[in-house]
Amino acid sequence: MEGFRYLDHTGDLGIELFGRSREALFEHAGEAFTDIVTDPATVHASFEVEISVDGADVEQLLVEWLTELIYRFDAQGWLFRRYRIRSLDDHHLSGTVQGEPYDPDRHPIRTTVKGATYHQLEVTRTEDGWKARVIFDL
Amino acid sequence: MSGEEIRGRSRDLMEALFRKLPSGVGSSRKDFELRRRDLHRVLEEGVGWTLEQGFGTREDRAHIEAEGCIPGADPSRVSDRALERGKRQLGTVGSGNHFVEVGRVQEIFDERAAAAMGLAKGMATVLIHTGSRGLGHQVCSDYISVMIKAARTYGIDLPDRQLCCAPVESREGRDYLAAMAGAANFAFVNRQMIMHWTREAFSELFGSGNGGLELVYDVCHNIAKLETHRVDGMATRLCVHRKGATRAFPPGHREVPERYRHVGQPVLVPGDMGRCSYVLAGTEAGYSETFGSACHGAGRVMSRKQAKKAAGGRSIVRELEERGVMVKGASRATLVEEISDAYKDVNDVVNVLHQAGISRKVAKLAPLVVIKG
């Protein structure tokens, strides 16, 4: 499987991610975040932004990556449609994201996210790639 | 003012509140912009800053936990990112379970405590439930990274990394408490500003100074505080972490405002937007058994996904209207996630608090108008 799916969680919201590579896994994490917040089909890839984050290991990197996207939306009003990870190792990630500023008339808000958590966080290797689980604090 | 007066004009009031109170993503008042210097003062001084700006009154201050300022806040311990997230969100309700609810006192359980709190049957009430907004969430995200490292430094074995921590007296612990106090002070100011604009809306519709609204109590939730409690008979300094909880101090405690000292601190337990909410009073039993804490809401019973499914094609607004509750939210998604069915029945939850003696029922509030972020 490739992409993401929602997990049922009483208090908050969880996602399960699948990717053939770690890069794909992180790109799907970005796509899942956009899908949580709004309808991705309404977001135009009009602008490109460079993003890089650091972490002590791949799991922390995943939380930091999502924390960065939450911050860009909550503080700066950015919504992204396309995610491209250029380089990714155990401690560093850099990539480009494409999107546009949030427009209340065009972007329906589904849920707002307070933060990405480490609760039950997992990034694991599978037979055909990578799998992860993240719970968001809503 | 009575609930009946509200009922006659509930639609007007709902529209007025919705206009005055910024709710929904990215919304803020056009006539209010915060400078960076002021944001630092908000974090350091809490409600002291708000009063200087003309939001709220001195009498309000006496009815706010810690008089609206947790000491020891240090904005330099708060990241630029957190400040940036907070800057545009001061004076906003926010989404999720946050709300402003106008209601009326439906039932009184404890006449003496209700009288002390100025509550009488049929009287109009306002509940404001919001907090430190994006600023607090970013402080949390930032310090989780710090605490994961700290747990390693201090050799603390974690069953789940989200439970990361450090000794209270460590540098990391002190930094966090200074940042958290800043976030709590931001939350006091946020609620005070929303209360001010709510008063404006009431005043415009019903006349009378301050819109006839007097602050009963403003209490924190989801916060850690350094307090002294008895442990095994010994007075012990503790860091009491009230997560999903709120403070409930007993009669006679010096941190309970004078007006309530003979009945105990007012404890606010909001329910969901369709049922009701409660005002309780703190007790001695609660003070010794739960370090003076009670739950701060009913708690969810359905995930948001389940709630969405349960709401299906239903018109939540119409359903509530039929039950006498007018509701307006910035998005349908929020209303759907917050349907009554998604929450435990607050009546059951509060009865447990009451019967266990953790807090005492004082009054039950029924909703009339609800604004969701």
All domains in chain A, ordered by first residue: 3-137 (3.55.10.10)
Nearest alpha carbon to residue B229 among B179, B274, B290:
B290
- Tens digits of residue pLDDT in A74-116: 999 999 999 999 999 999 999 999 999 999 999 998 888 999 9
Q: Do B138 and A71 touch (CB under 8 A)?
A: yes
Chain A residue closest in CA terms to B85: A75
Mean pLDDT, range B242-268, rounded to an integer: 97
- Chain A neighbors of B334, CB-CB under 8 A: 109
Alpha helices in B126-242 (DSSP H): 133-153, 171-206
Provide the pLDDT for residue A135: 95
Chain B closest-CA separation from residue A11 CA (Å): 6
Q: Do B303 and A121 touch (CB under 8 A)?
A: no
Domain range for B255 is 3-372
d(CA B80, CA B198): 30
Compare B195 and B334 and report the one with higher pLDDT.
B195
Angle between helical axes of A58-74 and B80-87 (0-180°, round to 10): 30
Active site residue B137: no
Give the confidence band of B237 by pLDDT, cuts at 50, 70, 90: very high
Instruction: Tell me whether A57 touches chain B (CB under 8 Å).
Output: no
Residue with tokens 């005492």: B360
Q: Is B308 exposed, middle or buried (0-12, 13-18, 19+ CB in 10 A)?
A: middle
Q: Which of B27, B141, B304 sits opposite A138 (nearest CB)?
A: B304
pLDDT at B24 over 90: no
Q: Give the ipTM.
A: 0.90
Q: What residues contact B35, with CB distance under 8 A and at least 6 apart?
A: none
Least trusted range by pLDDT, from B62-66, B95-99, B132-136? B95-99
Q: What residues contact A57, with CB distance under 8 A and at least 6 apart?
A: A90, A91
- Chain A neighbors of B141, CB-CB under 8 A: 67, 70, 115-116
Compare B336 and B47 and report the one with higher pLDDT.
B47
Q: Do A67 and B330 touch (CB under 8 A)?
A: no
CB neighbourhood size of B8 (10 A): 10
Catalytic residue among B98, B129, B296, B354: B296
- Chain B neighbors of A117, CB-CB under 8 A: 144, 162
Chain B closest-CA separation from residue A109 CA (Å): 7
Decide: helix, strand or coil at residue B129: strand
Chain B closest-CA separation from residue A34 CA (Å): 14
Q: Do B305 and A138 touch (CB under 8 A)?
A: no
B53: CATH = 3.90.1860.10
Chain B closest-CA separation from residue A12 CA (Å): 7
- Tens digits of residue pLDDT in A7-59: 977 778 899 999 999 999 999 999 999 999 999 999 999 999 999 999 999 99
pLDDT at A1 over 80: no
Number of domains in chain B: 1
CB neighbourhood size of B44 (10 A): 18
